[in-house]
Copies of this chain bind each other. A is one copy, B any other.
Amino acid sequence: MEQFSPMLPALTDEELDPRAAAVFADIRATRQTDFVNNFWRVLANDPANLERTWAELKEVMAAGTSLDPLVKELIYVAVSTVNNCTYCVRSHTAAARGKGATDEQLAELHAVVAAANKTNRLAIGLQVPVDEAFA
């Protein structure tokens, strides 16, 4: 499907500066795939931001922490949905499926997101005061 062009070009491997190339090598090694998606190719125009952002995602989304990687990916999809980021909803739903998310889990995730959005707006619109128990 034809799309608009990004605000900075999606760089090919040949166009990367050495810092960006090093990040791409780590993305490929970490994910064990040659595929590097457009997010990183556009961000590669700013190697410092690319380094920071990849290092952050690699650390935050890693296995071996108190939250399961699939749970973290589902939270990522939830946030991307509320922020209405098409690219992020699509890429992180794909990532969640790659980590084993089932259709049922994704449907359930969106039922929770929907309910939360509903009650969030009711609490705000009706200006519900915080109970002492939650203060």
Q: Residues of A with Cβ closer than 8 Å to B?
A: 1-8, 10, 35, 37-39, 42-43, 45-46, 48-49, 52-53, 55-57, 59-61, 65-67, 71-72, 74-94, 102-131, 133-135
Contacts and interface: CB of A to CB of B under 8 A. Distances in A.
Given A83-B84, A118-B118, A49 B131 contact: no
A59 B53 CA distance: 13
A111 B120 CA distance: 12
B128 A122 contact: no
Contact of A134 (B77, B81, B94): B94
B123 A65 contact: no
Nearest to A35: B133
A59 B42 CA distance: 20
B43 A104 contact: no
A67 B79 CA distance: 17
A124 B79 contact: no
A68 to B, nearest CB: 8
A11 to B, nearest CB: 12
A2 B48 CA distance: 36
Contacts of A53: 114, 118-119, 122
A125 B81 contact: yes
7 contacts: A4-B127, A49-B114, A78-B78, A79-B113, A83-B120, A83-B124, A118-B118
